[in-house]
Structure 1
Amino acid sequence: MSDVGGTWDLDDCSDACAPEWLGGLRANPALPNSALARLLTVVESPGPVSSAWLTWRTLDTEGARMVVASPQIDHRLQAVENPELDVDVLSGLAHDAEPRVRFVYAMLVGDFGRRIPDGVLETLAGDVHERVRRAATDHRELPLAVRARLARDESARVRAGALTPELWPLLDAGVREALLADPDPVVREAVDRLLAPEPEPETAPRTAPELRVEDPDPFMRRAAAGDPDVPAVLALRLAEDPDDGVRLALSLREDLTEEQRSAIAYVVPHGYHTPPRWVVERGHEPEVARRAAASGHVLLRRSIAMQRSLPADVVELLATDEDFFVKLTLCEYCQDAPHELVVEMYAHWHGLKWSFLGHHPNFARPGLARYADHPNPRLRHAALSDPDGGPALVLRLADDPAVSAWAVQDPRLPAGELLRRLALPGSARSAAANPALPPAVMHRLLDLAGVAGGHPGERPTG
């Protein structure tokens, strides 16, 4: 790919192709930091194409520093939302000049299981903007000494947010008295919630199982129906409850026999359902998994299919289930779902997440190239996942309108064809996203798109 000048008429198509090149380079997983630095100078138009490209990019420490230092506020906001960025680099956003960036950082600093760097919460708790300080109080890691200071903050919302059961007894008597008499109702309500006495179990209303199953509120009866602390003999009184949700909750109890379960006139709702707690907590146990997978209750079978790993006999049973969504759920959640089933669901499921099935560990296998001429475009797309498929397969599918966007991004595409596609409106974006594109070509595209900067040593002359 040494000849990247006018051979492929890149200059002639730059006006039409430049937006596609920029969009493709933003999506290119092999983008070098030198090209990233140039892309960060481009003022982006609002829209779905480029609005979140930095939230999912994998960036090394140098790249993360570039994004955190970007002059564009939106870039820095995307950095906060990227769960993979170095937390120590992100900590610089606690001092960002833009209050909106500091606020979003304060909200998300501990999200995604990220470590909160030392001193960051203290910095945010001292911010000049109220909502940044208030966001800092939402983190349980905030030191009590800092909370004590914020309990005297000029903002009522911050004072209220700072209060916790652990802090209250540590406050000076004068501070507690001031909070009890605070002129703002937000603070007084927070204090009232903090000091509300815990109800005594033996005297609190509606705690006895008999009262719970007879409660006039259907939400209370639903909770009782599925609560293992309510004996099954009492819960079964709800088998003919007029509320569909109550009967459904009852039908999912662990301590029922299959005969008792089938005698309940439950209704399976459409859409996603929350698995019962006993399946979530103990579904990894082989006997629990086998029992749920063999149940006549379809929601128990769907629930156990959500386990990340299952015994081979359970996988085999669920993979042949009569319910489509049991099989789909198995493919979406379980790493042991069989290859053939994953491909089948990928080909025929029309939900929004169908493409995620292509990332299942059992999806890509030698032999998928046999689908290159299949009438189902999903399966022609699957052919590209054949690890033994060569450049000829990719080149052939690059002319298939249904899958060309993916084929043109495939690094196995012959080099000459990749360069030719860069000059074709409609294909230029996918070609620019191809990780086999040399850095020199990436910089050439940025030059032609009028992007400032550049590294002469990485791009050709002439």
Structure 2
Amino acid sequence: MHHVLYGLAANVALPPELVDRLIAVADAATAGVLAGRDDLTHEQAVALVARDPDTAQQLAHAGLLTAADIDPATHPDAALTLLDRRAGDPEWARLLVRDPLVRNRQSLAACAGLPPDVMETLAADPDVRVVAELAFWTTPDRAAALARHPHAEVRRSVAANEAAPPAVLAALLTGEGLPPARWCLVCDREDTPFVHPRECPRPDCDLLPGESCDGSHDSTVHGTRQQALRNPATPTHAVVGFAGHPSTPLRWDLAARPDLPREVSARLAADPSPRVRADLAENPAIGATLIRAMADDPDHDVRRRLARNPHVPLDVLARLAGTTRIGSALLPRVAAATPHEVGEWARSADPEVRTLLAQRRDLPAEIRDALAADPDAKVVKSVAPHPGLSDGRLRAMVGRHGVRVLAAVAANPDATPALLADLTRHRPPVQKALRAVARHPRATAPALLACLADRDAGPLAAGHPALPPPVIAELLTDTDPRRAEAAAANPSLPPAVMSELLAVL
């Protein structure tokens, strides 16, 4: 019965009076589903919190609760959510900054618009995790002060703060101009030198695998440099020297930066690590000359990532299509192709090129229809979901290529109800096609009934509003709880049946 209630709680057609009745009897799981409804009134939200206090934070985040509804002493999570939305009482911050639970003080430190005195207290918190959280979110002036904090963990958080002054981020990256840190999370707890094992036997240990300290807080310093390299506010002049750093992860982070000078990009393109070269290959900052050179990289992932670069020349992309498994997603450069380029690609002799073009969903009708009649099944499968294809063309695709294009045809937004029903009758059944039909807004009862028997398409069909109401009601007692829950969530479930379900509780 519980899964039926979960479905009912999510049903968008559940009348308000039945929402009230369900709130009154909801268990914790059902209350959580109810809290996600888009149509809850303020009064219903308050009643739901009274039924299950654990929903308060979710409802506060949705804007359904006000400061008058919340007691920060009993609902600190909700109070913190309202504070972060700048909808709470500022006095709550002064109360929560003394909260004995570290996680609550950490959450407070992440809130926007805190009073200055509260930020001062958080910056002096006895638990470094609270100070580190503040450092990640705080203002430029306070970030500059916390960059000199004696604990390396706080400095690592400052390095990730995009509001930190560029000069401060440069100093954290290089270590120049800052006093040495005195502690890190590793030497707080362990005698040094220490390396945290990959398989730690202690269940209460929260150190990450491989974290280490030899007195220089080495793993935390390394993490600080990683954060600074990832931070777009770190100045270019401070990062370029890391192109030859012995740490491969640091070179990974450098290779992804959008401000790389040409000479640094060229050096990274010859990096011994394929991961570094792959991160560089997708970077929009590299120019056409370097892109052409990297197209011959021996590593498959480098070439695949290069194909996703928005500035890859189309002739290079065409070459990559013949040597690299690029995948089926629409590539940025293909999406940006001009009408002239689209025409050239449509006439390409290479089916891989035509397949990439066919992923666009804004093709001119004559090109779309030509690709729909392509002799290569991969091209046809790629263009099959394109809107505007006629019923005759979609049926012709299935007739020529069968199971290879069935699911893609079923996903076409203009597929007719009759075609969708015909696709479900294919033997042997194509499960991916059945799932596409069960999701399709134009599917009608005959197609949906055929989908119900499939293990994965069945729950989708059970929730489709075109399913006949008597079938929906019958599915409420189905042996598959996924189908029963989906039926209970079906907006076509008759209100009388909904009421009957709640009457037996």
TM-score under structure 1 normalisation? 0.59
Confirm or deny: 8 A CA contact 1:65 1:89 kept in the other structure: yes
Range with greater deviation from structure 2 (372-381 or 33-42)? 372-381
1:211 equivalenced with 2:267 (yes/no): yes
Aligned-residue offset at 1:246: 2.5
How do residues 266-305 of structure 1 correspond to structure 2 at under 5 angstroms? 266-268=323-325, 277-279=332-334, 282=336, 286=339
1:72 to 48, 52, 56: 52
Give runs of aligned pairs for residues 12-411 of structure 1, distance below 5 A.
18-19=1-2, 21-42=4-25, 44=27, 53-54=33-34, 57-61=37-41, 65=45, 69=49, 71-73=51-53, 75-76=55-56, 85=62, 87-89=63-65, 95=72, 97-99=74-76, 105=81, 116=85, 118-119=87-88, 127=96, 128=99, 129-135=101-107, 138=110, 142=113, 148-149=119-120, 152-154=123-125, 155-163=127-135, 167-169=139-141, 171=142, 179=146, 182-191=149-158, 194=164, 195-197=168-170, 198-200=235-237, 204=241, 206=243, 207=261, 208=263, 209-227=265-283, 229-250=285-306, 254-256=311-313, 258=315, 261-262=318-319, 266-268=323-325, 277-279=332-334, 282=336, 286=339, 309-313=362-366, 315-316=368-369, 319=372, 361-363=413-415, 365=417, 368=420, 376=429, 382=437, 397=449, 401=453
User: Percent identity at matched positions?
Assistant: 22
Greater relative contact order structure (CA < 8 Å, 6+ sep):
1
List per-residue Cα deviations over 1:104-152 (Å, max 9, x = no partner).
x589x7xxxxxx464489967963354345345557x646958854662
Whole-angstrom CA distance in 2 between matches of 1:69 and 1:356: 46
1:30, distance to aligned residue in structure 2 (A) = 1.5
SS of 1:196 mapped into structure 2: helix
Show the counterpart of 2:174.
none
> Hey, what's the Cα distance between the residues in 2 that align with 1:293 and 1:146?
65
Provide closer, same or farther for how the CA distance between residues 239 and 160 of structure 1 changes in structure 2, counting only shifts above 3 A.
same
Which of 426, 430, 443 does residue 499 from structure 2 map onto? 443
Alpha carbons of 1:220 and 1:58: their partners in 2 closer, same or farther (altered >3 Å)?
same
Give a deviation string over 1:63-102, Cα, whole Å, max 9, x none: 8625752522565566578xxx5x3548767958345666
Give the superposition deviation at 1:31: 1.0
Amino acid at match of 2:49: A
What does residue 185 of structure 2 align with?
A: none
Partner residue of 1:421 out of 474, 477, 484: 474
What is the aligned-residue RMSD (CA, Å)? Answer: 5.7
Residues 414-436 of structure 1, C-alpha deviations (whole Å, 9 max, x = no match): 77x46983896659767655545
Equivalenced residue count is 397
Q: TM-score, normalised by structure 2?
A: 0.55
Note the C-alpha offset of 1:446.
1.6
Q: Is the 8 A contact 1:305 1:318 kept in 2?
A: yes
| Alpha-carbon distance in structure 2 between the residues aligned to 1:263 and 1:428 | 48
CA contact (8 A) 2:334 2:357 kept: yes
Q: Distance in 1 between matches of 2:359 and 2:114?
A: 38
Q: 1:3: which partner in 2?
A: none
Contact 1:248–1:266 at 8 Å: present in 2 too?
no
CA drift of 1:162 comes to: 2.8
Cα contact 2:7–2:485 (8 A) shared by 1: yes
Q: Secondary structure at the match of 1:163?
A: helix
Q: Shift of residue 266 of structure 1?
A: 3.6
Distance in 2 of aligned mates of 1:303 and 1:205: 36
Q: Which amino acid aligns with 1:25?
A: L
Structure-2 change in CA distance of 1:349 and 1:137 (3 Å) = farther
SS in 2 for 1:200: helix
